[in-house]
Amino acid sequence: MSSKGPIYQYVNCKLLRNHELVKEDLWVRDGIILNPEKVFFDERVAADTQIDCKGAIISAGFIDIQINGAFGVDFSADVDTIEDGVQKVAEGLLAHGVTSFCPTLVTSPKEIYTQIVPKVKKKNGSKDGAGILGLHLEGPFINKEKKGAHNELYIQTLENGFSDVMDTYTSLEDVAIVTLAPELDNSGMVIQELVNRGITVSVGNKPGHSKANLVQGELAVKQGASTITHLFNAMLPFHHRDPGLIGLLTSKMLPEDKTVYYGLISDGIHTHPAALRIAYRIHPEGMVLVTDAIPAMGLPQGQHHIGSQLIEIKDRGKRAVIAGTETLCGRFVTLILSTCCEHIPFLTIHCGKVFALEAATLHPAQVLGITDKKGTLDYYTEADFVILNDQLRVMATYIAGERVWGQSNLETVISRSDSMTDSAETRW
């Protein structure tokens, strides 16, 4: 490698690598994870700084591919302040181990898309906030009968095919995911065009709100769709004669090399733990933890807005519903793995910490096709990682090898090269 920056070696830690927790050191330079054998044999140098992690777990940083807003910011409504709002959320997510995310827009009037979509740009993470991987556009091309919390007034068809998409969104340059209902007329050509442009297509449930049957779902996957938007919510229930989109998890009619991913709101409210256990047991490699967080995350109990809808936080912050109804409209917790595990005890019982972590790191990176850069601690990927205790509580967050959030007494520098101070000292 041509880089000559200082090398940091994190020791006394357990790394999540190759689907297991291993006692290895993490080597980082210039924001990239290094192969220590190459450093030793090719460069013949030692680390400039060695840091004791005191037995903590190091995992790739969390990736949230479905978040509608947080900390009072509504990605689907705050047109005049959207850039500042996205930045506020990006900064706030660092404390929760999220190193990158997809700001998500729910079904909205056309003028909202034309004003907001061009303003939200892909951006690398830094000490100023988590990275932006691109927008997730949930709607407006969904099924009115399974609209969930989406406003029916703004739901659209695909009567004119892809031209309707461009007319609505204006630009796709900074879009990462589009969720749509595959049973809509002309959806096939739209799916193919989106995938050709490098955009992930997600089908079914909640904001993908769909009444699609299994055959329609299988066709959508063959056309390029790869993800189901939060499984079980706002979609046809499982039926033994037509399992609907849920059947994609076990379908034998899909290409052998195709993995179908599915988001899950793992809060114990949107999906019953028994349903989560079923999904895990039949198709664990596809599970992606999503928060579906709404602007009320971090705000007190009461009424707030999400897009054009008035929502209400109830039960001491445990539920968010459309005001005056019992229709769930998104969980407003952040992607903290210990919180998820509290609501999905089977994750730790049946698959342990490794699966819980990979469902929030590796799997969302696979959805977006960015595992060469993010979602793992593989050599030469970006050094976006989190340090956790054994209960999976976030202790520190790093982006590009820089500590961007964390406890001041977490780590101790135990050695430095001659070019630096030789005495042991607290780094922060």
Give the pair of three-digit tokens for residue 233.
């919510």
The answer to whether residues 25 and 138 belong to one domain is no
d(CA 90, CA 290): 16
The answer to whether residues 313 and 334 belong to one domain is yes
Which residue range is the domain that position 77 belongs to?
A: 62-368
Which of residues 326, 343, 368 is at a domain's end? 368
CATH code of the domain covering residue 404: 2.30.40.10
The predicted model scores a pTM of 0.85
Confirm if 214 and 247 have CB atoms less than 8 A apart. Answer: yes
Handedness of CA 28, 34, 37, 41 (dihedral sign): negative
What per-residue confidence (pLDDT) applies to 300? 61
Cα 26 versus chain centre, distance: 24
What per-residue confidence (pLDDT) applies to 11? 97
Give Cα separations from 181 to 168, 249, 258, 388 (angstroms): 16, 17, 20, 38
What per-residue confidence (pLDDT) applies to 369? 97
Give the active site residues: 292
The answer to whether residues 292 and 337 belong to one domain is yes
Cα 250 versus chain centre, distance: 23
In 3D space, the residue among 289, 293, 298 whose CA is nearest the CA of residue 330 turns out to be: 293
Cα 277 versus chain centre, distance: 20
Confirm if 76 and 106 have CB atoms less than 8 A apart. Answer: yes
- If one counts the domains in the chain, the total is 2
What per-residue confidence (pLDDT) applies to 130? 97
234 is in an annotated binding site: yes
330 is in an annotated binding site: yes
The answer to whether residues 52 and 68 belong to one domain is no
Which of residues 368, 393, 416 is at a domain's end? 368
d(CA 116, CA 291): 22
416 domain-assigned: yes
Look at strands 319-322 and 394-399 and give their pairing.
Answer: unpaired
The answer to whether residues 255 and 327 belong to one domain is yes
27 domain-assigned: yes
Query: Which stretches of 192-330 are assigned E, i.e. beta strand?
Result: 200-203, 227-228, 261-265, 287-290, 302-306, 309-314, 319-322
Q: What is the mean pLDDT of each run of 10 residues along the chain (428 residues)?
A: 81 96 97 96 93 95 90 87 96 92 93 96 97 95 69 90 97 96 94 98 59 80 89 53 67 82 71 74 89 66 68 66 70 44 45 86 97 98 95 92 84 61 34
137 domain-assigned: yes
138 is in an annotated binding site: yes
Provide the terminal-to-terminal Cα distance of the chain, rounded to the nearest Å: 29
For 307-371, give the DSSP string: TTEEEEEETTTTEEEETTS--B--------HHHHHHH-HHIIIIIHHHHHHHHTTHHHHHHHT-T
270 is in an annotated binding site: yes
